[in-house]
Structure 1
């Protein structure tokens, strides 16, 4: 599975209340959630992010509550992956469960850089600098869950 996109940079400790503020949790509609994604950190993010873009963050991304709406809002905003130095464990699992790739890496990239991620090969290439970064290759069962669009879709396909 390969992902290519433009980087949006965020810092450390981006919590789920910043990803999708609690006042918007009156809905479960993914489009409504996406309209407010990360506005606690960058007010205009949802209006500027494009399909295929990638979030690059520091440590402890997704800390805070266990709300599944946080990765849902990110995924439905058009973001194809989140790369961070570390993730809160429940956010990491929630992201995989809904089909959003989350990659642990010390990737060096500036906002606007274009990167390519090869989840099977365990490599990230920063096309803007030419640097290559190694990551842990994703296990086949995780790749299948992501390719199927999340755990529920994967389970439904397995039952067919």
Structure 2
């Protein structure tokens, strides 16, 4: 009897026998530089399954993708895990349902300890945030591999996360869902030089992060080939856009 092949996990990028890890501090661009090989191996899925993975936010836009994000920032420390981003009890919410997608956003960062973060990320009675940019330390998005973490942030209105480094699976899920831009800083300790409510700009063309309130500018690592995947609205939208899978739903 022939051996049964184990399917390739959705967010594992494989080419021949080599596994490409993404991102962490040393290899932030490997995800999309090998994306075409990954797509051919992993996107041969039934169209109904592909449709179920689409969220209301993660859809391709006919207009040019944004290159800058501007607004108030919300500042976090190191090792912010996915249970702090979206607690496990809210994982029953289905992102493909618009009402539940918005509700998912309303619970983002509800797992943060109020003793450390007394300013609520979501104001009571609302389902979106006034902080479109997150500034964090090292190892952002560690913990369990829940796809709901970047989805909840996107649903709340977050456009970009700027951190020292990321847990690999959070970075992959951010790119795959197209919900937020996970951007790495070149230097450490930037979050300690920012305060929640500071007015900031993330410029993806110049690869700079500007804190207008503090009058400081910091260098960002280029997001590279992962950018077009996020621009398109996620991994499946990108695959349809580039002809890797059928665009007929």
Say which is worse superposed, 27-36 or 91-100, in terms of deviation.
27-36
Count of paired positions: 158
Aligned counterparts, 1:4-15, within 5 A: 4-15=70-81
- Distance 1:53-1:42 versus aligned 2 partners, 3 A rule: farther
What CA distance in whole angstroms lies between the structure 2 residues aligned with 1:156 and 1:42?
41
- Asked if 1:158 corresponds to 2:242, the answer is yes
RMSD value, Cα: 1.8
Equivalent residue runs for 1:1-160 within 5 Å: 1-29=67-95, 30-41=101-112, 44-47=120-123, 49-50=129-130, 53-99=132-178, 100-105=180-185, 106=188, 107=190, 108-139=193-224, 141-159=225-243
Kindly name which structure, 1 or 2, has the bigger radius of gyration based on alpha carbons.
Answer: 2
Change in CA separation of 1:42 and 1:49 when aligned onto 2, cut-off 3 Å: farther
**What is the distance in 2 between the residues matched to 1:137 and 1:86?**
13
Report if aligned partners of 2:228, 2:238 keep a CA contact under 8 Å in 1.
yes
Contact 1:120 1:138 in 2 (8 A): no
CA distance in 1 between partners of 2:121 and 2:201 (Å): 21
CA contact under 8 A between 2:74 and 2:121: conserved in structure 1? no
SS of the equivalent of 1:90 reads: helix
What is the DSSP-based 3-state SS (H/G/I as helix, E as strand, rest coil) of the residue aligned with 1:103?
strand
Q: Deviations over 1:7-50 (max 9, x none)?
A: 11111111111111111111223222111111111674223713
Give SS of 1:74's match. Answer: helix
Which ranges in structure 2 are unaligned for 5 or more consecutive residues? Answer: 1-66, 96-100, 115-119
